[in-house]
Structure 1
Amino acid sequence: MNIQDRVKELRRVPASELKPNPRNWRTHPVAQRDALRGVLADVGFADAVVARELADGTLELIDGHLRAETMQDAAVPVLVVDLDDQEATKVLLTHDALATMVGVDQENLATLLDEAQFESEAVESMFAGMKPDNAPLLADAERPEIDVPESYQVVVECQGEEEQELLFNRLRGEGFRCRVMTL
């Protein structure tokens, strides 16, 4: 597998100069906004937002919209990536979605929750339900059963991305509901 490094550079840019991506699909509830402000107050910036440089020289966000919005005119670290519009769309769609697929190591989580203390009530409340003494996380064996409707699927191994795209387009053209997966 040939994996490209698409990061061009790290810049520090006033957050107000970053252009929000008009196709950003993520929303940020008040509790998340408050928790982010709490983490920034307790720790500061420990991550970079991700943006691509447009033809006019402006930077368009791919990830980090809430951080940029929260920081307003303050300089923020920005990973400038070399992505075209289609590639930026793929990253915009998958960046946070991949993070939601994580599992939980209950023991490490409990230890971290015991060790970390935050000044912000918003951050503390974000984790309150995860503490074992309040509302234990469900072990796999304790999860309630759910009904999953029958679904008939076929997984096809392709020789490469080009073949995958051709097959995907052909099957979609024939009326099949399809998804692209890369493992």
Structure 2
Amino acid sequence: MAVKKRKSQMVNNTDHLQHIEPTLRPLAVPINQIHNDQDNVRKHPDQNLDSIRRSLEAFGQQKPIVIDKHHTCLAGNGTLLAARALGWTHLAAVTTGLSGSSARAYAIADNRTTDTSDWDMDKLAQQLAVLQNEMDFDHFTTGFDDSQIEDAIDKAMQIEDASMRDVAIADSYQVLVACADEVQQRQLFERLEKEGFQCRVLTL
């Protein structure tokens, strides 16, 4: 009796996987088997999808999306949409055992946790400035356009200026003594130095 071979969800044909990081290729799943989450709480306007598409074009897929047992995308819907727009046939995907309310909560948390982080404007400005000076590097792949890069650099400079103004200057107590001549000045200087005062000679 012939035994039917189970159709594998994974693929080993690397011809269609050149855009996927090699270590992720064993996780590749045909895109036509993956469904976008119809209840996804995150919207993906054209500008956002364009940024994702540019990133995928430049760097390939560097992290897997997350799908449930029904192949519904829980994390990475934007990546899935952009990959379809690029004509990709496969994406690396991790299949989670979460389902029901747990899967829904995870999908929300995956979107929300990125919202609650902050940029280190100084480091961001430094890195964007370096990339901006790289003639062969398309800085749009970072998701920032020219005006946003300039804004980031300006904000970093404003923060630096504000921090400089906030630096406390230690109190300094000084006495200016007018001497009759150079001889008296030298004598007074030597005496005060012996008494432990920090002195310096000024000729005005």
TM interval, shorter chain, is: 0.5 to 0.7
Aligned length: 128
* 1:7-49 deviation digits (Å, cap 9, x = unpaired): xxx7211222101222111111111111111111111111111
User: Aligned equivalents of 1:105 and 1:119: distance in 2?
Assistant: 18
Q: Indicate how the Cα distance of structure 1 residues 24 and 131 shifts in structure 2: closer, same or farther if over 3 A, else same.
A: same
Q: Which runs of 5 or more residues in structure 2 are unaligned?
A: 1-25, 132-136, 164-204
Task: Name the structure 2 match of 1:52.
Answer: 68
Task: Name the structure 1 match of 2:143.
Answer: 123
Say if 2:65 and 2:75, in contact at 8 Å, map to a contact too: yes
User: Aligned equivalents of 2:130 and 2:111: distance in 1?
Assistant: 26
User: Aligned equivalents of 1:21 and 1:71: distance in 2?
Assistant: 15
Q: Which runs of 5 or more residues in structure 1 are unaligned?
A: 1-9, 143-183
Say if 1:19 and 1:60, in contact at 8 Å, map to a contact too: yes
- Could you say what secondary structure the match of 2:103 adopts? helix
Question: Within the alignment, does 1:85 sit opposite 2:106 as a pair?
Answer: no
Amino acid at match of 1:101: T
User: Aligned equivalents of 2:152 and 2:34: distance in 1?
Assistant: 37
User: Aligned equivalents of 1:53 and 1:137: distance in 2?
Assistant: 49
User: Aligned equivalents of 2:130 and 2:108: distance in 1?
Assistant: 34
Tell me which of the two structures has the higher relative contact order, counting C-alpha pairs closer than 8 angstroms and 6 or more residues apart.
Answer: 1
Give the drift of 1:107.
2.2
Higher helix share: 2
Q: Indicate how the Cα distance of structure 1 residues 136 and 16 shifts in structure 2: closer, same or farther if over 3 A, else same.
A: farther
Moved over 6 A (4+): 134-139
Give the drift of 1:128.
2.8
Amino acid at match of 1:92: A
Structure ID, larger Rg: 2
- Could you say what secondary structure the match of 2:38 adopts? coil
Shifted more, 77-86 versus 107-116: the winner is: 107-116
Say if 2:49 and 2:81, in contact at 8 Å, map to a contact too: no
Q: Which residues in structure 2 correspond to 1:145-164 (within 5 Å)?
A: none
Give percent identity, aligned residues only: 16
Task: Name the structure 2 match of 1:112.
Answer: 127
* 1:97-118 deviation digits (Å, cap 9, x = unpaired): 1111002222221122123342
Q: Which residues in structure 2 correspond to 1:128-143 (within 5 Å)?
A: 128=149, 130-133=151-154
User: Aligned equivalents of 2:158 and 2:50: distance in 1?
Assistant: 24
Higher strand share: 1
